[in-house]
Amino acid sequence: MGLFDRIKRAFGGSEKETEVTQSEQKYDQGLAKSRKTFGERLNALFANFRSVDEDFFDDLEETLIGADVGFDMAVEITDELREEVKLQNVKEPTEVAQTIVQKLVDRYEQDGSNEQNAIRFASEGPTVILFVGVNGAGKTTTIGKLAHQYRQAGHKVLLAAADTFRAAATEQLQVWGERADAPVVAGKPQGDPAAVVYDAVERAKAENYDILLVDTAGRLQNKVNLMNELDKIKRVITRSIPHAPQEVLLVLDSTTGQNALIQAKEFNDTTQVTGIVLTKLDGTAKGGIVLAIRHELHIPVKLVGLGEQIDDLQDFKPNEFVYGLFKDLIKADYQIDVAASDTPDK
């Protein structure tokens, strides 16, 4: 049984009340804008539904691209639907809509078949997590929220302020450190970021910290210098702790849609990204970007921001994400709103 059928059985096949976890509620609320927009796009497509012809497939491809599922996936899903229509003789709008969503969900599951969404921790010694990404994506806020979560779980957490070139970066991280009760290792303004990281790693080892979270600069306009800087930071970490960093997490602002995908490609070309943090999912209609990232980059999403509160940073849960994005379309009794349903076919 595929992911689509499992979710349909678990969530959409019955009207009876089921127990909803706090995590499911956050995904449900956090993906409301994306879910609404995706549904509106499909409804707009089917409002002009006459028959499943080449015009329909062209419109479908544009609809999927507009929903930020990515160009490659949009083309492949459209091609697969062409074959499905021929094989199954699918004609009714509701059948076509369900087939589209099923294709998206099945492809999403296939792309993530060997994906590890959990954060990796060191078997002994401090776990080092390096955060990269352009300025404004939410790196520092993500680090602060994650530090809070780890402290609440009883871990001893240290922060490193290696974004030494942005005036407010260190101060911002120190504010988060105070909130999370996690000390911050900082250097001089405009100082060497790698030197800050070296000091932080040595302190983490000497004082038996469980987790070290490292903030870095994000000046993509100076891409060569930035990537050289990140490479130097990683070498400093590895020399002191051979198997670290355990994670290099790329923080992306999901509200930027396809621009986030471009950033991911650029960072992944020059540094070994092990996972992605998608911030501000609750404030955007571009949740489909997760499908594009999985399909085109094969980098696991590990954390998602589903709100502004300190506890709204969530571990990424693929099933809950898919249900949160498609639940209005995936229910067994779903009936798409076809405004022109009484118009004769061609």
User: Under DSSP, is residue 279 helix (H, G, I), strand (E, B) or coil?
Assistant: strand
Answer yes or no: is 284 a known binding residue: no
Give the residue among 78, 44, 38 at the shortest CA–CA distance from 58. Answer: 78
Residues 157, 126: Cα–Cα separation, whole Å? 9
Answer yes or no: is 219 a known binding residue: yes
Element (H, E) at 99: helix 93-111
Answer yes or no: is 48 a known binding residue: no
Answer yes or no: is 69 a known binding residue: no
Pair 161, 215: CB distance under 8 Å: yes
Pair 184, 132: CB distance under 8 Å: no
Give the residue among 242, 238, 226, 141 at the shortest CA–CA distance from 197. Answer: 238
- Percentage helix, strand, coil, to 5, in the chain? 55, 10, 35
Answer yes or no: is 332 a known binding residue: no
Q: Please list, residue by residue across 43-76, b when 16 or more beta carbons sit within 10 angstroms of its beta carbon and e when fewer do.
A: bebbeebeebeeebeebbbebbbbbbbbeebbee
Give the residue among 280, 225, 228 at the shortest CA–CA distance from 254. Answer: 280
Answer yes or no: is 68 a known binding residue: no
**Would you mind telling me the total number of residues written for the chain in this entry?**
346
Answer yes or no: is 81 a known binding residue: no
Residues 28, 245: Cα–Cα separation, whole Å? 33
Answer yes or no: is 280 a known binding residue: yes
Answer yes or no: is 216 a known binding residue: yes
Answer yes or no: is 135 a known binding residue: yes
Helix axes 223-240, 193-206, angle to 10 degrees: 20
Answer yes or no: is 238 a known binding residue: no
Answer yes or no: is 94 a known binding residue: no
Answer yes or no: is 133 a known binding residue: yes
Going by the annotation, the residues of the binding site for GTP are 133-140, 215-219, 279-282
Which residue ranges make up the annotated binding site?
133-140, 215-219, 279-282
